[in-house]
Structure 1
């Protein structure tokens, strides 16, 4: 798979996540965030398990204990990101959540430098700032007083940055994207369901009322999109992946306008254009640089 194909896969994952914001928001009318996240990723783990077993048969071995430990760490980061995002959606809008979650576009390259001493291509830094600016304009170009849901969304962005960084590392070293996905889903689901038994009442009626959202987010936003993320990250860097994945804010705003009646201002369309320009720059500049270097070395 080429880097271009990998980035397109990440863009598709972002689009799916953006649509998932709508289901995540409407589900909160019927079910608590802990049970929702636990059930969501339980469905995702079961959906991916057969494919993870097929992957193991193809590789003629099961994941090692070290690999499983790494996958478990990704699951812990996923748990942190998923539950704080879901709690935030109780009191903030889909558009605000999409913007604040997109802060991971800044956190990821910083983590790559501080923790792994890996310096991304220079275009990532202006690209991250452009993407953040585009997301800000997309949200209306104003910044009002933060509420509790917004604070949880910012915390969520930090956990997503860790998840993206760890997923990129462990899928590269293990070459087991499906096993990684299944384990991270299972860890997130089990721990979240355990917390739900303490934090929230269990209600079959609530699950019945939210089953469409749970099933959609479990199979599509989780089972499919997170697998696409892990597969795409095998062939690109974490900072570049963060830029493409953060376009979920654009898709979240579009779906929120279409299905929830949240309006997109005129300045929001400028934000959309800036996001699109950033994606093109981050994709084309490294390729142009490589081609020019190849010409000079001939």
Structure 2
């Protein structure tokens, strides 16, 4: 019996969240042999080139003088977000914790949209924010003020990702998703690679295994992930897709526990739970609609 469109969308998007979570593991392993910014530069240039090659039929969009500068600006914002995220990944001690902090960007998107475009934040968002802040406090104040330095980078990344998501919403409908992603990925790779040239020492020799993790990050966790995400989002409403994408930090925490034997204290687990709850609260209208649809 063939799967329904809705079921296919669910399966594809759940797979996307798993690939995104796996990307945290791939990246952490690659950082054992590559400087953070050099790694990001190579990873995103490779991923961007792959997407550009598979979207040759849409290259004429790159000639749109009204859209390309905005796409490049999005790439700059994304590059800043990724730059801070990779620093958090390099300096942080807990991948799962970092994933939940970074996911605060989802909660902050409506606030950013209000600050930039004057869009009113919903009551659910206003309710979710203090819950998210409480969760972040439990993570950050575990054992007092001896904060993991990676948390500050992850929080900065969350703020920048919320800005990127907000700006993206006003351009994504005007430009093919694959071309828009390719431009942004290439910008991320080139900017981080350029910064790396000036501030990072490059290793003389890189083990073959590190190159394997790099390729997995570029081809599986970036190019393949985005291709599947584009396909899945085409099958499901945006609200439905966004709800499923909330699973990413959950998978990341589970994979980190399995791969790196990471452990969290009860306080840290509660903090992650509150942040996850804040994401659900901020999207409560979608959660309720999805539940009612499944029940009918």
TM-score (norm 2): 0.78
Distance 2:8 2:217 in 1: 24
1:295 corresponds in structure 2 to none
- What's the offset of the Cα at 1:282? 4.8
Does residue 31 (structure 1) correspond to residue 34 (structure 2)? The answer is yes
Does residue 219 (structure 1) correspond to residue 219 (structure 2)? The answer is yes
Provide Cα deviations, 1:205-227, integer angstroms capped at 9, x if missing partner.
23744212211111122213345
- Could you say if the C-alpha distance between residues 108 and 135 of structure 1 is closer, same or farther in structure 2, counting changes exceeding 3 Å? same
- Could you say if the C-alpha distance between residues 143 and 160 of structure 1 is closer, same or farther in structure 2, counting changes exceeding 3 Å? farther
Does residue 53 (structure 1) correspond to residue 56 (structure 2)? The answer is yes
Residue 171 of structure 2 aligns to a residue whose secondary structure is helix
| Unmatched runs of 5 consecutive residues or more in structure 2 | none
1:294 corresponds in structure 2 to none
- Contact (CA 8 Å) 2:111, 2:121: kept in 1 or not? no
1:19 corresponds in structure 2 to 22
Distance 1:151 1:270 in 2: 16
Query: How big is the alpha-carbon RMSD for the aligned residues of Structure 1 and Structure 2?
Result: 3.8
- What's the offset of the Cα at 1:193? 1.3
- Contact (CA 8 Å) 1:79, 1:188: kept in 2 or not? yes
Distance 1:232 1:120 in 2: 27
- Could you say if the C-alpha distance between residues 119 and 130 of structure 1 is closer, same or farther in structure 2, counting changes exceeding 3 Å? same
1:172 corresponds in structure 2 to 173
- Contact (CA 8 Å) 2:243, 2:287: kept in 1 or not? no
- Could you say if the C-alpha distance between residues 208 and 36 of structure 1 is closer, same or farther in structure 2, counting changes exceeding 3 Å? same
- Could you say if the C-alpha distance between residues 242 and 150 of structure 1 is closer, same or farther in structure 2, counting changes exceeding 3 Å? farther
1:112 corresponds in structure 2 to 113
Residue 158 of structure 2 aligns to a residue whose secondary structure is helix
Distance 1:87 1:230 in 2: 27
Provide Cα deviations, 1:96-125, integer angstroms capped at 9, x if missing partner.
311221221232110122222334665455
- What's the offset of the Cα at 1:252? 1.1
Question: Which range is displaced more, 249-258 or 68-77?
Answer: 68-77
2:162 corresponds in structure 1 to 161
Distance 1:229 1:103 in 2: 20
- Could you say if the C-alpha distance between residues 132 and 282 of structure 1 is closer, same or farther in structure 2, counting changes exceeding 3 Å? farther
TM-score (norm 1): 0.77
- Contact (CA 8 Å) 2:13, 2:232: kept in 1 or not? yes
Distance 1:3 1:115 in 2: 34
Question: Which range is displaced more, 227-236 or 8-17?
Answer: 227-236
- Could you say if the C-alpha distance between residues 140 and 148 of structure 1 is closer, same or farther in structure 2, counting changes exceeding 3 Å? closer
Residue 90 of structure 1 aligns to a residue whose secondary structure is helix
1:258 corresponds in structure 2 to 258
| Unmatched runs of 5 consecutive residues or more in structure 1 | 291-298
- What's the offset of the Cα at 1:197? 1.1
